[in-house]
Amino acid sequence: MELLSLNASSHLLRERRRLVVYGKCLEVERPDLIRELDDGAVMAWACPERDHINVISLKLASILARVSLEELTIVTVDGSPHCVQLHHAAEEAAKVTGLGGDRVRHLVIHSGRLIPISSRAVKAARYLSKVQRLIEQTKGSDP
């Protein structure tokens, strides 16, 4: 289902208390991984290439303000300048609603595998100067 069409206090969210938001392109590119993640949580897609990140952020914050989620998981392809915004949106929504950082989980798909990403890495990705420093510290190896 589409995240933006999901009622912020949907009975599905109140009953299941877990939400997985994934990049829409994964339905075509990696449907197997979407099925693997579908363990009873509410599964919703979003596309920051289509919808502005502020709209997505507000939807997530609205959900977090109304439903006591046990876990919010964001899943995207790695390397997409659009999809990375979903991770930032989740962090911002958690921050403004006071959701504990341990309840937000970030996953990216790289080389066919789901890779856990820390909230610290998501935050660092916002600061290009920090990323530049890390690259220089590793002698300029390519990402």
- pTM score, two decimals? 0.92
Q: Is 87 in contact with 76 (CB distance < 8 Å)?
A: yes
Is the pLDDT at 91 greater than 90? The verdict is yes
What are phi and psi for residue 82, nearest 5 degrees?
-85, -55
**Tokens 């599964």 sit at which residue?**
43
Per-residue pLDDT tens for 2-31?
A: 999 999 999 999 999 999 999 999 999 999
Q: Helix crossing, 84-97 with 53-66: angle to 10°?
A: 40
What domains, with CATH codes, occur in the chain?
3-137 (3.40.50)
Q: What is the mean pLDDT of the chain?
A: 94
**pLDDT band at residue 143 using 50, 70 and 90 as cut-offs:** low
**Cα angle for residues 23, 40, 113 (degrees, 5° grid):** 45
d(CA 80, CA 21): 15
- Is the pLDDT score of 139 beyond 90? no
pLDDT band at 71; cut points 50, 70, 90: very high
Helix, strand counts (H, E) of the chain: 7, 5
If pLDDT is split at 50, 70 and 90, which confidence band does 102 have? confident
